[in-house]
Amino acid sequence: MRVLITGSNGLLGQKLVKTFSSNHRTSGIDLQTEPFITTPNFSYQNINITEKGKLEELFASFKPDAVINAGAYTDVDGCENNRKKAWEVNVEGVKNLSRLCRENKAKLVQLSTDYIFDGKAGPYSEEDTPNPKGYYGVTKLESEKVILDSKIDFLIVRTNVLYGKSLGETHDFVLWLIQKLKNRQEVKIVTDQYSNPTLADNLAEAIKEAAEKNISGVLNIAGGEKVLSRYEFALKIAEKFNLDQSLIKKVLTSELNLPAPRPLKGGLKIDKAKKLLETELLDVDKGLEYIR
């Protein structure tokens, strides 16, 4: 299988590159001049998914069997403040990929999010009705609709709160918190946002299995546990890395006055993934142990 990975320098993108290139011809694209990781069986180009011409040339030369779109504008507050960019990347970019997948008979694996829901009654299943609160969620839901309307073979993978170790400019909640606590800095963590955090390495393995099994449709792939609050997650991180939990202070989302609204009772049900996949979806304890 020839696999094209967009956003290959991101946290998940790096894990996908390592996972797929072990036994598949793999190519990656992202915004930086050079790849953050190099590995056998992998080639890289500096291409944005909004660049139609460059994408067409890449599809013509690489001829992918599967495209995994891990490239997106994921800054939730940034999307609220820069709606034009959010739409161009998260919607128009997906239109480009969908068209090229249709023309080249390639499968599209699209990464989506629990932010397409309003957070009133999570965790959510694949069948629950989306109702995004913020513009990031609006664009991600619209990208799902683009794919559904495109008449291509697809797999939409919904996930939430990615964490893990990576190279380059990527960052995540776990590494941010560890650095703060190591520097003896107090942090305010919300008690009213719920999710089932997902280890990026684990997600990449599950996506690879799903792609190799040619699973199609919509599939939630997330952390293997009941949802927990971001505050509870922070306490677990501090405990696992022997850091001072007293530096972690409680706060409500409403007190932070963030530009974009957040779904509070979020998270994803993973019953379907457990039935279809052999890859164990790791809970926070196992996930944090993996990156220690």
Q: What angle do CA 233, 223, 242 make, to 5 degrees?
A: 35
- List the domain boundaries for the chain: 2-162+199-220, 164-195+226-268+280-291
pLDDT at 43 over 80: yes
Is 169 strand, coil or helix? coil
Is 71 strand, coil or helix? coil
The pLDDT of 122-127, averaged and rounded, is 98
* pLDDT (tens digit per residue) in 179-238: 999 999 999 999 999 999 999 999 999 999 999 999 999 999 999 988 999 999 999 999
Task: State the Rg of the chain over Cα.
Answer: 18
Specify the CATH number of the domain 164-195+226-268+280-291. Answer: 3.90.25.10
The dihedral region occupied by 267, where left means phi > 0, alpha psi between -120 and 50, and beta the remainder, is left
**Interatomic CA distance for residues 2 and 21, integer angstroms:** 9
pLDDT at 126 over 80: yes
Confidence (pLDDT) at 226: 86
Is 250 strand, coil or helix? strand
Hey, what are 22's tokens? 């072990």
**Interatomic CA distance for residues 149 and 140, integer angstroms:** 14
**Interatomic CA distance for residues 153 and 287, integer angstroms:** 31
- The contacts of residue 81 (CB under 8 Å, 6+ apart) are 259
> So what's the architecture of 2-162+199-220 in CATH?
3-Layer(aba) Sandwich (3.40)
Give the bridge partners for 68, in sequence order. Answer: 5, 109
